[in-house]
Chains A and B, each alone.
Chain A
Amino acid sequence: AQSVTQLGSHVSVSEGALVLLRCNYSSSVPPYLFWYVQYPNQGLQLLLKYTTGATLVKGINGFEAEFKKSETSFHLTKPSAHMSDAAEYFCALKISNFGNEKLTFGTGTRLTIIP
Chain B
Amino acid sequence: GAVVSQHPSRVICKSGTSVKIECRSLDFQATTMFWYRQFPKQSLMLMATSNEGSKATYEQGVEKDKFLINHASLTLSTLTVTSAHPEDSSFYICSASLENNSPLHFGNGTRLTVT
Contacts and interface: CB of A to CB of B under 8 A. Distances in A.
Interface of A: 34, 36, 41-46, 49, 51, 90, 97-99, 101-103, 105-108, 110
B100 interface: yes
A61 to B, nearest CB: 15
B43 A108 contact: yes
A56 B101 CA distance: 19
B106 interface: yes
Given A44-B93, A102-B46, 13 more contacts: A36-B106, A41-B9, A41-B111, A42-B109, A43-B109, A51-B101, A97-B100, A99-B32, A99-B100, A102-B49, A103-B104, A107-B43, A108-B42
B111 A107 contact: no
Contact of B101 (A34, A36, A97): A97
Interface in B28-62: 32, 34, 41-44, 46, 49
A17 B91 CA distance: 32
A45 B6 CA distance: 14
Contact of A107 (B42, B103, B109): B42
8 contacts: A41-B9, A41-B111, A43-B107, A46-B104, A98-B100, A101-B104, A105-B43, A106-B43
